[in-house]
Amino acid sequence: MNNSTQDPGIAEYSISYVSRVAGVSSRTLRHYDHIGLLTPGHVAQNGYRFYTQDQLVRLQRILLFRDMGLKLESIAEILEEQRDERQALTEHIQQLQTQRKTIDRQIAALERTISAIENGERMKPETSFDGFNEQYKEEVTERWGAKAYQTSNKWWRNKSPEEQAGFFQQVRELNEAWISAGKAKAQPESEVAQSLAARHVQWLRSIPGTPLESGIPEQGSAYVMSLADMYVADERFAKNYGGHAQFVSDSLKVYVQKGMDL
């Protein structure tokens, strides 16, 4: 604690204390201060940093987002947009509760697999992957509706393990083709890029429940354009293209703008 000239009614915690209870290094806290992500309540004349409850709440949120795999730049943007701490923490609780349910299902699926192995029984594919393919459930539902998720999820669950493996192989080959074209410095308008864009859209069309099934060109175009933006903005997707996500995005947008078959 600090006996400083600050308001005596406000509890203050030294950087060493916060470091210990939060499980982060003092160096990390100083770095957060340096980049403006977490500024101490005040800094004493001797340079010691002190934190109040407001900063502890912010640190708690920072660590939650960090555990979700977000970069510090993204965390800063989110915190800047969400100024209502109580509402934001309530949303965090809801997200964690959803994650807990998914993890519980994954644990149960793994336990069933272990039991099958120990007892010399065959795995049941229809239950072995319960909870393993729902990482995008909320955002799919938010963007395109619950029906879209339910349709695509049912389609996926009805696939055999061999069919699922084949689907993943198709995705890997498509991603590798995009990366090769990006490394070759192909332009989005080039024949190579547009051929890949057509192949990409055809792959998207193979997944039921998406707006491409609507038969309405405007909906299909909006869907592909939104995915093109997401491939760049969301690191989970961008990493699939080996540093060439912008090229993929631009190529898909050219394809849509040319009014190709959607």
Sign of CA dihedral 187, 172, 136, 80: negative
Domain ranges of the chain: 13-83, 156-258
pLDDT of residue 64: 83
Give the list of residues 6+ apart from residue 35 with CB closer than 8 angstroms, or none.
Answer: 72, 76
Q: Report the CATH fold assignment for 156-258.
A: Globin-like (1.10.490)
Same fold, 13-83 and 156-258: no
pLDDT of residue 5: 41
pLDDT of residue 255: 95
The CATH architecture to which 13-83 belongs is Orthogonal Bundle (1.10)
pTM: 0.49
pLDDT of residue 155: 80
pLDDT of residue 9: 56
pLDDT of residue 198: 95
pLDDT of residue 143: 59
pLDDT of residue 261: 62
User: What token pair was written down for 12?
Assistant: 């203050």
pLDDT along the chain (262 residues), means of 10: 47 92 91 94 90 91 80 83 72 74 73 74 57 55 65 76 81 94 96 96 88 82 90 84 94 89 61
Q: To the nearest 10°, report the CA torsion of 196, 197, 200, 202.
A: -110
